[in-house]
Amino acid sequence: MGRASPGREGDARRPPRDEKGRAVGSQRKKIAIIGGDGIGPSVTHEAKLLLEIYRDKAGLPLDLWELDLGADRYLRDGVTFPKEIQIAVQRECAAVLLGALGDPRVPGLEHARDILFGMRFGFDLYANVRPVKALSDRLVPLKGRGAKDVDMVVFRENTEGVYVGMGGQFKRGTPDEVAINEDLNTRKGVERIVRAAFEFAKRTGKKRVCMADKSNAMRHAHELWLRVFDEVRREYPEIESRHLYVDALCLLMIQDPSQFEVLVMNNLFGDIVTDLGAALQGGLGMAASANVHASDPTRVAMFEPVHGSAPPLAGKDIANPFAAILTVGMMLTHLGWPDEETRIERVVAAAIEEKACTVDVGGTLGTRAAAAWVRERVAKEL
Quickly list DSSP for 76-117: HH--SS-HHHHHHHHHH-SEEEEEE---TT-TT-HHHHHHHH
Across all residues in the chain, what is the average pLDDT? 93
- The number of helix segments (H) and strand segments (E) in the chain equals 11, 12
Does position 261 have pLDDT exceeding 60, yes or no? yes
Residue partners of 79: CB distance under 8 A and separation at least 6: 69, 73
- Strands in 261-309 per DSSP E: 262-265, 290-292, 301-303
Structural domains present in the chain: 1-129+287-382 (3.40.718.10), 141-281 (3.40.718.10)
Does position 3 have pLDDT exceeding 60, yes or no? no
Q: What pLDDT was estimated at residue 1?
A: 43
CA–CA distance, 8 with 6 (Å, rounded to integer): 7
Q: Please, are residues 16 and 10 in contact by the beta-carbon 8 Å criterion?
A: no
Q: How confident is the model at residue 16 (pLDDT cuts 50, 70, 90)?
A: low
Q: Tell me which of 19-23, 127-131, 157-161, 227-231 is least confident.
A: 19-23
Does position 253 have pLDDT exceeding 70, yes or no? yes
Q: What pLDDT was estimated at residue 265?
A: 98
Q: How confident is the model at residue 68 (pLDDT cuts 50, 70, 90)?
A: very high
Q: What pLDDT was estimated at residue 272?
A: 97
Q: What pLDDT was estimated at residue 26?
A: 62
Mean pLDDT across 13-31: 62
What is the identity of the amino acid at 260?
F
Q: How confident is the model at residue 368 (pLDDT cuts 50, 70, 90)?
A: very high
Task: Determine how β-strand 62-67 pairs with β-strand 29-36.
Answer: parallel
Does position 60 have pLDDT exceeding 60, yes or no? yes
Q: Tens digits of per-residue pLDDT, 281-298? A: 999 999 999 999 999 989
Does position 200 have pLDDT exceeding 70, yes or no? yes
Residue partners of 120: CB distance under 8 A and separation at least 6: 128, 158, 159, 291, 302
Q: Tens digits of per-residue pLDDT, 306-351? A: 999 999 999 999 999 999 999 999 999 999 999 999 999 999 999 9
CA 229 to chain centre: 23
Mean pLDDT across 296-303: 95
Q: How confident is the model at residue 17 (pLDDT cuts 50, 70, 90)?
A: low
Strand partners, 132: 152
Q: Tell me which of 12-16, 38-42, 207-211 is least confident.
A: 12-16
Q: What pLDDT was estimated at residue 122?
A: 94
Share of the chain above pLDDT 70, in %: 93
Does position 5 have pLDDT exceeding 70, yes or no? no
Q: What pLDDT was estimated at residue 82?
A: 95
Q: How confident is the model at residue 10 (pLDDT cuts 50, 70, 90)?
A: very low
Does position 107 have pLDDT exceeding 60, yes or no? yes
Mean pLDDT across 85-103: 96
Which residues have a catalytic role annotated? 163, 214, 247, 271, 275
Task: Report pTM.
Answer: 0.92
Q: What pLDDT was estimated at residue 22?
A: 45
Q: Over the range 43-69, which residues count as b (16 or more CB within 10 Å of their CB) and which as e?
A: bbbbbbbbbeebbeebbbbbeeeebeb
Helices 322-335 and 367-381, packing angle to 10 deg? 40
